[in-house]
Amino acid sequence: MERSTDARWTRRGVLTTAAGAVLTGCSSGETTPTDTISTAEGTATPSSDSGETTTTRPPSSDSIGTTPTEGDDTGTESDSDRRDVVFQETPERELKLDLYLPGEGEDHPFVVFAHGGGWIGGDKGHRLMFDRLTANGYAVADVQYRLAQERRYPAAVRDVVAAVAWVRANADTYDIDGSRSALAGYSAGAHLATLVALAPGYERFQPRDFELDASAAVDAVVGYSGPYDFTVPEAEENLLVAAFFGPDASEATLQEGSPVTHVDPGDPPAMLVHGTEDSIVPYRSTTVLAGTLRDADVPVEVVTGEGAGHGMIDDPDWRERTLPRQIGFLDQHL
């Protein structure tokens, strides 16, 4: 696919964090960081796109891509919710998920959601995003994954693979239909969700010392404001990308970690949501993935927020405009 030369990686919306870490190789292919890095997120990957849905009057905020921590969670509690369920033990920490279940019935399709935060921050606990999903009969697993300062790429990818496999393996316990599933994510979480959705069986993405024999393949994927292509030259200079992949990551590694390079005919349908004024992860990131999916005859729906910035997911008006579209998309493909 051709890429125009006006693609640029932005360094606006700077997030500074102390992220420990050295490049320490290990047999799993992951690296443990110990140096301090100041980070800024963003990617631009150009392409043309058509057949989009445009929403109007969304907010234009451009905060870094995080989802609220549990203390910020303002969704509706349910007796059927299951909090802090451990789905994987790693050398760094236990990884937990929050499972939100419809109040009644059985055989619910499930959605695994990965939070944002530039791969260096954020956490599960975004209950308010899931009320509409559970009200429409979907089970939602809001999952943790290891951050770059704990363990670099591909650790977070493996954790999302493990989360999908865990939910599927335990589906009967929670009245879930393990045969109907989707991945979703915001910002960095959208990157992880789409990467796993497009390459669920890729050998390097498989969890180590994970005993569940269940597939991570899904039927659909939803990405909000995600970076999907690290093969552009500007990626090598982006500090968040360096924090995630390691400052000495090879071109082959950046290509391997780019969802756009894993697109094949037969991949699951995708819904991609993005704001045109996103200065953290520019809108072109979505159009290039959408174009690549269309070239492979993979169904893709692009929902465009005219004038919207990166932080639109936390705005109630934006959610009211996009979540019904997400429900319709999932109903169609699950």
- So what's the pLDDT on residue 80? 76
Q: Is 307 exposed, middle or buried (0-12, 13-18, 19+ CB in 10 A)?
A: middle
SS (H, E, C) 283-317: CHHHHHHHHHHHHCCCCEEEEEECCCCCCHHHCHH
What residues have CB less than 8 Å from 252, skipping those under 6 apart?
Answer: none
pLDDT mean across residues, the chain: 81
Q: Is 19 exposed, middle or buried (0-12, 13-18, 19+ CB in 10 A)?
A: buried
Q: Of the ranges 99-113, 123-137, 187-201, 224-238, which is most confident?
A: 187-201
Strand-pair partners of 223 = 185, 272
How far apart, in whole angstroms, are the C-alpha atoms of residue 206 and residue 208?
Answer: 7
Residue 12 structure tokens: 């606006």
CA geometry: angle 302, 154, 144, nearest 5 deg: 70
User: What is the pTM assigned to this prediction?
Assistant: 0.81
**pLDDT tens digit sequence for 238-273:** 899 999 999 999 999 999 999 999 999 999 999 999
Ramachandran category for residue 124: left, alpha or beta (phi over 0 → left; psi -120 to 50 → alpha)? beta
What is the identity of the amino acid at 79? D
Instruction: Indicate the domain borders of the chain.
Output: 14-333
How far apart, in whole angstroms, are the C-alpha atoms of residue 224 and residue 272?
Answer: 6
**pLDDT tens digit sequence for 123-164:** 998 787 899 999 999 999 999 999 999 999 999 999 999 999
- So what's the pLDDT on residue 43? 35
- So what's the pLDDT on residue 31? 54
Is residue 11 within 8 Å of residue 118, measured between CB atoms?
Answer: no
Could you tell me the maximum CA-CA distance found in the chain, to the nearest angstrom?
53
How far apart, in whole angstroms, are the C-alpha atoms of residue 75 and residue 1?
Answer: 42
**pLDDT tens digit sequence for 37-67:** 222 333 333 233 333 444 333 333 344 444 4
Residue 71, pLDDT > 50, answer: no
- So what's the pLDDT on residue 276? 94
Q: Give the closest residue to 113 by CA, choosing from 228, 197, 55, 170.
A: 197
How far apart, in whole angstroms, are the C-alpha atoms of residue 212 and residue 206?
Answer: 11
CATH code of the domain occupying 14-333: 3.40.50.1820
Residue 139 structure tokens: 């089970």
- Going by pLDDT thresholds of 50, 70 and 90, the confidence category of residue 187 is very high
